[in-house]
Each structure stands twice: as C-alpha cells, then as structure tokens.
Structure 1
Amino acid sequence: MLEHKSLREKVVLITGGTSGIGRATAMAMGGAGAKVVFSGRRDPEGEETAALVRDTGAECKFVRSDVSSEADVKALVQTTIATYGKLDCAFNNAGIDPPVKPLHEQSLEDFDKVMAINVRGLFLCMKYEIQQMLTQGAGAIVNTSSIGGLIGFPGISPYHASKHAVMGLTRSAALDYAKQGIRINAVNPGMTDTEMLDRLDSGSVNDLSEVPMGRKGQAAEIAQAVVFLCSDAASYITGQPLVVDGGFTAH
C-alpha cells in the first residue's frame, strides 16, 4: 500500500471492487488518501471490502450495481457525486470470464454475457464518468484490460475478444478527450493470483513456465499500477496499456 498520499482528497470510483484486483485497488486508493466509492453485485463481499478500506483511514461507500445495466451505471455515478461532490478518477474493473473451451464449443449465451459486462459495461461506465469529468475539466480513467488484450491464449476466445475491445475503447476515448484534460489508460495484468485465474484451470492459461519472474502477480501489485495511472505522476500518459505481467509478454 502506498504510504504517501498521492491521491489525497481525490474521489475515486471503482467497479468490480468486491474481490481480487478491485478490492486491492480500493484499499490502495484509500491508503493513497482518496475517498472511495466502489461497486459490485455481491453485498457480503462489498461490506467486507468496505471494512478493509475504512481500516486504511479512508472514507468509502459500497453501491450494489450491475455495469451491464445503463440505469445502474448512471445511478452509480450520480451516487458518487451526491456523496462526495465530484469524480476525479475511475477504475473500470468489472469483468467476467467464459468457460475454458475452444471457440466452436463456446455458446452464444456465454459470449454475449462476457461482452455485456466486459465491453458494454465498460462503454457505459466511461460514458457517464466522462460526462461528469467534462463538467469538472479534468479526470483520470483506468480500464482493466489484460495481457489477453494484447496477445492470445487458447480456450478463452470470448474473453480475449472482450479485452482487445477494451484496448480499442481506451485508445479511441483517450484521443477524444485528451484536450479536455481527461486521461484514459488501461492496466494489462498478466497471471494474477485471483479467483478468476483459479477458475481458468486450463494448463495453457495457468502455465508459469514462460513467466520470467516464475510466479503469479499479486492483486496488490496491479493496484499500485492503477494508483500510479490515476495520480499526477502519470500526468503525461494517456491512451496507453500499462503491462504488469512479470515479463511474460517480453518474449
């Protein structure tokens, strides 16, 4: 956790904040001095995360929300403004993964479900976050892509399609709003020790043999990258993927 207060008095909105990278980032943002609003679809995990964020000394609020619902996303941003008066940073992290199987065995239902959360949800979040940030004249957004948004693995083609789409949305939106003071970047984690990676039990997905550091990343390590991209230390960075993968894609 960052000891310096690089986001002191900033208001940060995090989606998918009830576990994994989202939870770790909510804690890191609190430790960096931010006021945190985070969302998710599970109340018990949301309350657990809220307690952990408050343990850092930060103010926080949990909002139950489904990012595939436009009404939910609009209400989430409105709640953030009603609670803390502004929106300085957003971490669009909500995402799901499909079953591990080759493309011809993937169902249309699973494909649509992944796209609804990972792509439609991201679009909706950016739409309403940016509307607010335009009224303020500044803001920073970080989207969770993946090394799967830059390369491919067998068995999870819908997931890779969605994460490549995240990169397209990130780069294009960054160009739309650079002159308005809104920075938009992506964080691209490699194999990170989370529940999602545990579900992807295919050897081709979890194989650490080609990771130069020889280990999985930790959610807290990804969180620090997100804090950096939201901070003024990254003030000249926009439209970029920040790859945090232990050297995997350096091959």
Structure 2
Amino acid sequence: MVFTTDHDDGSWSVVSQCRQSPPVDTTAPYSTASLAGKTILITGGASGFGAAFARHWAKHGSHVVIGDVNDTLGHSLVADLRSSYPSQSFHYQHCDVTSWSDQLSLFKFALANSPTGVIEGVVAGAGIVDMDNGFDSPRRSSTNPDSGPEEPRLKVLDVNLTGVAYTVHLGLYYLPKNGTRSDGQQRDRHILLVSSIAGIAPLPGQTEYTASKHAVMGLFRALRGTSWRRGVRVNCINPYFVDTPLLPTSGVAILAGAPKAELEDVVDAGTRLMADEGIRGRALCIGPKLRVYDDEDGETKLIYAEDFERVEAFVWRYIGMINVMKGIAGWVGVVKDLWGIYGLGGKRGR
C-alpha cells in the first residue's frame, strides 16, 4: 500500500484520513479572541515554557490551572496572576507527572475549579534533562563490581514520556466531556504537546533526552490520526535551544556561539496553536531567526515540510542552515556566549 498526501482527484490520502488541517502560515495574523474564558491545564507550568504560556494566555482572558513539583514557583506564579487579573481563575496544585494518581488528581482539581466546569486546553509541558546520567557510558556497580553495570537512571524517560502519556490519556478522557458553549458550538478540545528539536534530530550525548522527545513526536503523529474521532485536536511545538532553566550551565557551554531561538517565538507558536481552533495535526519548529531565500525568485520563503513525505529532507535542510549560522558566528559568538554563561551569572539554554 502506498501512503500519499492529498490529491486533486480526491483519491485516498493519509492527510485527509487523519483530518489534518492545511499547512500553518506563521507570517499570517491570527486572533486570540478564543482564549478568553478557556480553562487551560498546564503540566510543568511553574517555570520555563509553561509559565510563559500561563502569563501570556492570562493576558488574553484564559483561566489557568498549573501542575508542577516546584511548589514555591507555582504558588508565586499563581499569586502574581491573581493580582494582575482578579476577574479570572488561576490555581496551582503539586503534581509529579510520573505519578498517575497525582495527574488524575490534578485533572479533577482543574475541573472542580474551572469557572465553566470544563477543561478546553491541555498542555503536556513537563520535561527535564539529565546532563550526567551516564546512559551512554555504563558504569561498573560501586557496591558489587562483579554484578555488572549500575542500573541506569531513567528519570528523563519517566518524566518526558511516561508523564506526557499520562497527561495525553487523561486529556483524551476529559476533553470530550466539555460539551457545548452557550452559542451551541462545541467547546474546544485541544492537546498541545511540547517536543524539541531533539524530537526530529539527534542530540549527541543526550541519548535518553533525544529518545524521549522522539517518542513525543511518535505520540503526536499517531494521535493526530485518531484523536479527531473524539473531537480532540492535537498539535505540537518543537523548540530549538532557548534561554530557559531546563539545561544546566555545563550544557550551555557546549552550545556557545550557536544561534538560539527566542522564548517569545515559542510562546507565539504555542499561542497560535491554542487560539486557532482550526489547526489540527500540525507541529511547528521554532528556531533562530533565519532568512531563507528561494533559489528561483530570490524571495524569502517559509520552511515547510509535509512530514508524510519529506521530513528527512526538512531535518537535513534545517540542521544545515543552523550549522551555517554557527560558522558565521565563529569564535566571536563562542566568546560572547561563554562570557554570558560564566561571567554574568550563568544563563541557561534549552
């Protein structure tokens, strides 16, 4: 059987069967009006992308429920949001995403505290990285050298894959129960997955992290082919390295001199997917600001790949451009980044 993309003659295609929406034109304006009044649940929402989403969506009238293990940051964020937007609803609950009972409790908590009694958006945002887990270099057991290597630490897989799977499973259960709005239209049912550039390209030295983010992309690709049956739309973002607390300083040194994506671009991409209820089954890759020209007419073009056919070509081209930018930056960029990391307080990067 040959799997193809859409055809003008209306013949069978993967795209039409999974109800995937047309390619996203990220240069086109979009409305954030639909965010007003939505209750959105965010795992890993106390810092990083999750916190940035919460703050931005609150500006547009959303109610937000955050689950995280960092209680100090979580409570502080909710207090700030309540002070800034007193007419909206903001809540925080401790949640270890690797615990099914914690996540189930979080979803029930969100429903109980939602002004409308429903959840319309779910962001599977919790994620970690372990720079020194030793997965690629098995160590001899320190307690019994003759027993073989030590058991590997798989916390990254637990959080980035099992935790995300729990979130998605609960979202698929609760989102279809949210009914219709006062105007009779079906409420939005949206799951936003957070993968990474490591979800489409390898990150050498971070095998476990790369595997977990590839797995998130596997979840995304499979879900978009079936979630429409429950009226749920699934989208995904794949950020390149961003200045967030996810990676430790030692990890950022490896990237010194390389171009980085901007947090506001990640927020904009996630907001477009959350706000535009017509976008289904699409993933946006957010990288450094690059100007790409078409060889034929010299005009600036969007980079787009229909992954049913050309995802490998997209990855090859994208990484090639990043490498060119790395070369242009040269040692000046390396020195500048290392100065920022070690001389001005230690910036973090994803």
Structure 1: state its 5+ residue gaps: none
Partner residue of 2:278 out of 210, 235, 244: 235
Distance 1:179 1:109, change over 3 A: same
Greater Cα offset, 47-56 or 59-68: 47-56
Q: Which has more strand, going by share of residues?
A: 1
**Pair 1:244-2:272 in alignment:** no
Tell me the secondary structure at the aligned position of residue 61 of structure 2.
coil
Q: Find the aligned partners of 2:136 and 2:172 in 1 and give their Cα distance.
A: 37
Judging by fraction of residues, say which structure has more helix.
Answer: 1
The residue aligned with 1:66 is 96
Alignment of 1:124-135 (within 5 A): 124-135=166-177
Whole-Å separation in 2 of the counterparts to 1:179 and 1:3: 26
Which structure 2 segments of 5+ residues have no match? Answer: 1-29, 139-149, 180-187, 291-314, 322-350
Aligned twin of 1:217: 262
Deviations 1:200-220 (A, max 9, x none): 52544x2443x3xxx4422x3
**Amino acid across the alignment from 1:227:** T
Identify the match of residue 156 of structure 1 among 206, 209, 217.
206
Residue in structure 1 matched with residue 11 of structure 2 by the alignment: none
Which one has a bigger Cα radius of gyration?
Answer: 2
Letter in structure 1 aligned against 2:270: V
TM-score between both structures, scaled by the size of structure 1 = 0.87
TM-score, normalised by the number of residues in structure 2: 0.64
Alignment partner of 1:121 out of 134, 146, 163: 163
In the alignment of these two chains, the number of paired residues is 241
Provide, for residues 160-187 of structure 1, a one-character-per-residue CA deviation record: whole Å limited to 9, x for no partner. 0000000001121121111332111111
Code of the residue aligned with 1:221 in structure 2: it is D
Contact kept in structure 1, 2:131 and 2:251, CA below 8 Å: no
Provide the rounded CA distance (Å) in 1 between the counterparts of 2:277 and 2:249: 33
Residue of structure 2 in register with 1:99 after alignment = 131
Offset of residue 102 of structure 1: 7.0
Superposition RMSD in Å? 2.3
SS at match of 1:104: coil
1:165 alignment counterpart: 215
The answer (yes or no) to whether the contact 2:133–2:152 under 8 Å persists in 1 is no
Identity %: 27
Aligned pairs (5 A) from 1:188-227: 188-199=238-249, 201=251, 203-204=253-254, 206-209=255-258, 211=259, 215-218=260-263, 220-227=264-271
2:60 aligned with 1:32, yes or no?
A: yes
User: CA 1:247–1:161 in structure 2 vs 1: closer, same or farther (change >3 Å)?
Assistant: farther
Q: Is the 8 A contact 1:141 1:184 kept in 2?
A: yes
**Using a 3 Å threshold, how does the CA distance of structure 1 residues 202 and 90 change in structure 2: closer, same or farther?**
same
